[in-house]
Amino acid sequence: MQSEFRIYTIETFRDYIMNTRFSRKIWFLQNHHTWRPSYHHIRPGRDELYWLESMRTSHIRDRKWADIGQNITTFPSGKIAVCRPINRIPAGIAGANTGAICIEHFGNFDIGGDVMTQQHRDIIIAVNAILCIKFDIVPSTPLIVYHHWFNSSGRRFNPETINSGEVQLRALQKSCPGTNFFLEESNDFKGNTLLSAESNFYPLIRDYIAKMNDDDNTSVSMLVTASGLNVRIGPNTRFAVKRVLIRGTIVQVYEHANGWSRVSQNQQEWVNSTYLKNA
């Protein structure tokens, strides 16, 4: 069964990830670039859905997969797409997909290729950070990986081979996510190496995680106005009731989503915002 593509902003993506329970165990993230299509192929009238359908057609026709390979695609526009459902194992790195989310970044980020837009750079960092928080992943070389680090059987090359940044053609090694991926001008290594990930990429993800945690710690005091207000485990009446608050209870609100308010700092406890007022 082919997936239904969904397009998100960073705010709506965060809401979707944080408020959805996934059935598949996730313990690491893959980062890729599409290489082709690249920024060079963007034309008026060809929006994100156009490119997602194009990639799906290529993956099914040329690679004989059942669906588009990646779980998530990021775009130069700052948009994010959920492609193959996150509950399904991706087709990202042959032999190393179980437990992974495959994130595909639209563009060619080899040296001499596309210059990443600021919007694209920002969402790549944000997507990785949000997934790290959701699935308790620490930004590190075992857990946020590049395709370049693996051979065609899904085994890692040794660190010296990876850090050379060169492509071992006989082992079918890829440059992905690109030799210029988050590379700094002062670096004497390439952007697809362990050195670059540790120096340039992971610190940005850690900073974003810290900012998200600071934001989550900010709360507003609200008063319950209903005689009995259900606290649910998600922001929708479809979620189970965990407990009930009585009128006059003062709660701390940490997040709002689609008319619902999260009233716990560390747990998914949500109430209908209609029945709250400023304390």
Select the more confidently predicted residue: 267 or 169: 267
pTM: 0.79
* Per-residue model confidence as pLDDT tens digits over 201-250: 999 999 999 888 777 667 788 999 999 999 999 899 999 999 999 999 99
Written in H, E and C, the secondary structure of the chain is: CCCCCEEECHHHHHHHHHCCCCCCCCCEEEEEECCCCCHHHCCCCCCHHHHHHHHHHHHHHHCCCCCCCCCEEECCCCCEEECCCCCCCCCCCCCCCCCEEEEEECCCCCCCCCCCCHHHHHHHHHHHHHHHHHHCCCCCCCCEEEHHHECCCCCECCHHHHHHCCCCHHHCCCCCCCCCCCCCCCCCCCCCCHHHHHHHHHHHHHHHHHHHHHHHCCCEEEEECCCEEEEECCCCCCCCEEEEEECCCEEEECEEECCEEECCCCCCCEEEHHHEEEC
pLDDT bucket at 176, cuts 50 / 70 / 90: very high
For residue 279, give the nearest of 228, 218, 219, 224 by alpha carbon.
Answer: 224
Residue numbers of the domain that contains 250: 220-278
Which of 162, 188, 215 is the C-terminal boundary of a domain? Answer: 215
Same domain, 236 and 160: no
At 228, which CATH number?
2.30.30.40
Same domain, 155 and 94: yes
- The answer as to whether 1 is a domain residue is no
Residue 2 pLDDT greater than 70, yes or no: no
Q: Would you state the structure tokens that stand for residue 126, as one six-digit string? A: 């944000």
φ/ψ of 82, rounded to 5, equals -95, 125
Number of folded domains in the chain?
2
- The answer as to whether 141 is a domain residue is yes
Q: Would you state the structure tokens that stand for residue 173, as one six-digit string? A: 């090694």
Question: In the prediction, which pLDDT does 183 show?
Answer: 96
At 200, which CATH number?
3.40.80.10
In contact, 30 and 131? CB cutoff 8 Å: no
Q: In terms of DSSP bridges, do strands 6-8 and 100-105 run parallel, antiparallel, or are they unpaired?
A: unpaired
Can you tell me the mean pLDDT for 68-86? 97
Distance, in Å, from the CA atom of 162 to the CA atom of 123, rounded to the nearest integer, reads: 26
In contact, 28 and 100? CB cutoff 8 Å: yes
Q: Whose structure tokens read 């400023």?
A: 278
Which of 215, 238, 269 is the C-terminal boundary of a domain? Answer: 215
Question: In the prediction, which pLDDT does 169 show?
Answer: 66
The pLDDT > 90 percentage for the chain reads 78
- The answer as to whether 238 is a domain residue is yes
Distance, in Å, from the CA atom of 79 to the CA atom of 129, rounded to the nearest integer, reads: 16
- The answer as to whether 152 is a domain residue is yes
* Per-residue model confidence as pLDDT tens digits over 163-175: 987 777 666 789 9
Same domain, 118 and 237: no
Same domain, 130 and 159: yes
- Alpha carbons within 13 angstroms on the beta-carbon side of residue 98 total 2
Question: In the prediction, which pLDDT does 3 show?
Answer: 67
- The answer as to whether 73 is a domain residue is yes
For residue 66, give the nearest of 90, 82, 47 by alpha carbon.
Answer: 90
Distance, in Å, from the CA atom of 161 to the CA atom of 157, rounded to the nearest integer, reads: 6
The pLDDT > 70 percentage for the chain reads 97
* Per-residue model confidence as pLDDT tens digits over 4-61: 899 999 999 998 998 788 999 999 999 999 999 999 999 999 999 999 999 999 999 9
In contact, 5 and 69? CB cutoff 8 Å: no
